[in-house]
């Protein structure tokens, strides 16, 4: 039986190990959530939010993870897609500069629900609005283009608990109502 030189044999062994371990290394979104914080996932499953945009956002969105950190739930939307209030609350807005993306500027909305100490954050490029009280389902903005830093045109984050030390909640399509 012919033998491979040591260098080629080593390469074949490494390649075989990689091929065998790829399914193990290919971590799915649910697995990432479990690694990040199992308690947050369980709490999110109990909570429902109005879909913050068109149905396809809530049905087909994905976790946005950057440098190992969960950023939020996001997806690309067609230009001009409506951004909707996920619940009744107080809306405030700001322009945020994403320093990790060559100072990319995005609109950041904060929607606060004082009844249950929750806050949702919307990040998108588009029309900005003034601070005001809003009702669930109300159009609060329009997404116009993709946020390059996150490869999504809308990022939706949920924070719960103490406003001084809020807990980020990981959301899934099951958390949205239509």
User: pLDDT by residue (tens digit) across 47-56?
Assistant: 789 999 999 9
DSSP letter string over 112-129? EETTTTEEEEEEEEE---
CATH code, domain carrying 170: 2.70.70.10
Residue at 143 is within a domain: yes
pLDDT tens, residue by residue, 91-119: 999 999 987 767 899 999 999 998 888 89
177 bridge partner residues: 50
Residue at 130 is within a domain: yes
Does pLDDT of 25 surpass 90?
A: no
Taking the CA atoms of 37, 43, 169 and 167 in sequence, report the sign of the dihedral they define: negative
Number of domains in the chain: 1
Residue at 7 is within a domain: no
Residue at 124 is within a domain: yes
Burial track 108-136 (b if 16+ CB lie within 10 A, e otherwise): bbbbbbeeeebbbbbbbbbeebeeeebee
Residue at 10 is within a domain: no
pTM above 0.85, yes or no: no
Residue at 72 is within a domain: yes
133 bridge partner residues: 90
Residue at 14 is within a domain: no
Q: Name the residue range of residue 60's domain.
A: 29-177
Residue at 5 is within a domain: no
């Amino acid at each position: 039986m012919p033998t491979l030189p040591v260098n080629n044999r080593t390469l074949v062994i490494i390649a075989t190990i990689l091929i065998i371990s790829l399914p193990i290394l290919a971590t799915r979104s649910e697995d990432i959530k479990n690694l990040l914080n199992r308690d947050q996932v369980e709490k999110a499953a109990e909570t429902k939010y109005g879909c913050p945009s068109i149905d396809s956002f809530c049905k087909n969105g994905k976790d946005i993870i950057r440098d190992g950190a969960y950023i939020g739930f996001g997806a690309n939307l067609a230009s001009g897609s409506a951004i909707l209030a996920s619940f009744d609350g107080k809306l405030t807005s700001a322009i945020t500069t994403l320093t990790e993306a060559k100072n990319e500027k995005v609109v950041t909305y904060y929607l606060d629900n004082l009844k249950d100490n929750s806050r949702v954050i919307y990040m998108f490029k588009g029309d900005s609005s003034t601070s005001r009280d809003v009702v669930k389902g109300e159009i609060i903005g329009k997404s116009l283009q993709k946020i390059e830093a996150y490869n999504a045109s809308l990022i939706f984050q949920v924070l719960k608990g103490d406003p001084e030390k809020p807990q980020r909640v990981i959301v899934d399509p099951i958390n949205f109502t239509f």
